[in-house]
Structure 1
Amino acid sequence: MNTRTLWAAAATVLAVTVLPACSSDNDTTTETSTTTPTSADALDAPTGTVDAPVTAPDLQTQMDVFFDPAAPVDAKVTVIENGEARTAVLTQFNDILTGYPLTATVGEVTGVDDTTVTAVTEVDGPHGGAPLTLTFTEVDDTWLLADDSTCSLLELGRLTCE
């Protein structure tokens, strides 16, 4: 199975598990509606909200570097939590991105606490895309893609953080 097929399969699985959570409730009653996070959201999104201490454009820089196949591994290490421990898998990820380019657009950012936010991020590839809820954490005054979210993204390419 080639890399393109693997990414297409991963995107399909992702779309099937994430997109049903995007349906709307057309009931026009005045009752307050609640939403239940999908299993994919529950894995990546801590509970509770506060004002976001960072903006989408600030986090976009990290995503641009992470998904840029021309960005050296040393640059990717600086935008993810535990980056030094991920150099080998980031090298593999760059190889995948060379043949199957992906982009990410950071959307709504929600504060979890003073050093953690979640961001709805649209990850797009040659065969479409899907919104993902990614977690970012502040380490030494720098916002980084959280380790769990990094590993979830790498798993789309059948790579592991182990």
Structure 2
Amino acid sequence: MVFRNVVRNFFIATSALVVAVGVAACGSDSDQAEPTAGPGVSTSAQSSTEQTTTVNTPPPPAVAAPAPELLQDSLAKLVDPSIPAADKVPLIVDGPVHVQGLETMAAGLQNYGRVTFAVNEVVVQGTSAIAMVDVTSPHGTVPIHMTWDNVDGAWKLNHDSTCNLRALGRAPC
């Protein structure tokens, strides 16, 4: 029941965030006032001496999508109570910040029962990999989105996804 409440609250928070971002992104440039010029100067005409320079910057290098098994393995290690929290630090963005929370999570999961993960639908956006993850616990299976960031060639669970994972063991961020 606790797991379902955590997941339900996660979905509610995620949905609210998506709506807020969507509303903010719907703004229009037409809402902005047209700049004004002094008497006798037109703002609609551009001086013939002005030139527009376009700088072509190359796109960032493409990052290959990580194998679902790699991401799944990182999640399994993060919830494994037999692995010390200090050994989990390299699996998380800003890992040292999460050491205490990982210890709390491990303690909370010891009597919880087995938690497993099935990573599906990995999509790379820039240097982030977003995947649909089926989280299975004694209470059932719930699909959630998780994000990993490529940091110096290693895929690390990002802060928000780490906080969601920690919630399984009642270890808030």
TM-score by length of 2: 0.65
Q: Distance in 2 between matches of 1:85 and 1:99?
A: 25
Please list, as runs of the form range in 1=range in 2, the aligned pairs for 1:1-162 lying within 5 A after superposition: 5-11=1-7, 13=8, 17=11, 39=15, 42=18, 53-100=65-112, 101-113=114-126, 115-161=127-173
Structure 1 segments (4+ residues) deviating >2 Å: 5-11, 40-43, 50-53, 155-159
Structure with the bigger RCO (C-alpha within 8 Å, sep 6+) is: 1
Relative to 1, partners in 2 of residues 1:73 and 1:14: Cα closer, same or farther, differing over 3 Å? same
* AA aligned opposite 1:7: F
* AA aligned opposite 1:69: P
* AA aligned opposite 1:70: S
Q: Distance in 2 between matches of 1:95 and 1:67?
A: 10
Asked whether the 8 Å contact 1:52–1:110 carries over to 2, the reply is no
Q: Distance in 2 between matches of 1:39 and 1:109?
A: 20
Q: CA deviation at 1:87?
A: 0.7
Question: Could you say which structure has the larger radius of gyration?
Answer: 2
Q: Distance in 2 between matches of 1:85 and 1:65?
A: 17
Q: Distance in 1 between matches of 2:17 and 2:165?
A: 13
Give the SS at the match of 1:130: strand
Asked whether the 8 Å contact 1:6–1:157 carries over to 2, the reply is no
Q: Distance in 2 between matches of 1:152 and 1:91?
A: 15
Q: CA deviation at 1:129?
A: 1.6
Q: Distance in 2 between matches of 1:98 and 1:39?
A: 30
Q: CA deviation at 1:157?
A: 3.8
Q: RMSD over aligned Cα, in angstroms?
A: 2.6
Asked whether the 8 Å contact 1:122–1:130 carries over to 2, the reply is yes
Q: Distance in 2 between matches of 1:14 and 1:124?
A: 17
Q: Note the residue ranges of structure 1 that are not aligned, 5 or more in a row.
A: 19-37, 44-49
TM-score by length of 1: 0.69
Q: Note the residue ranges of structure 2 that are not aligned, 5 or more in a row.
A: 20-61
Say how many residue pairs are matched. Answer: 129
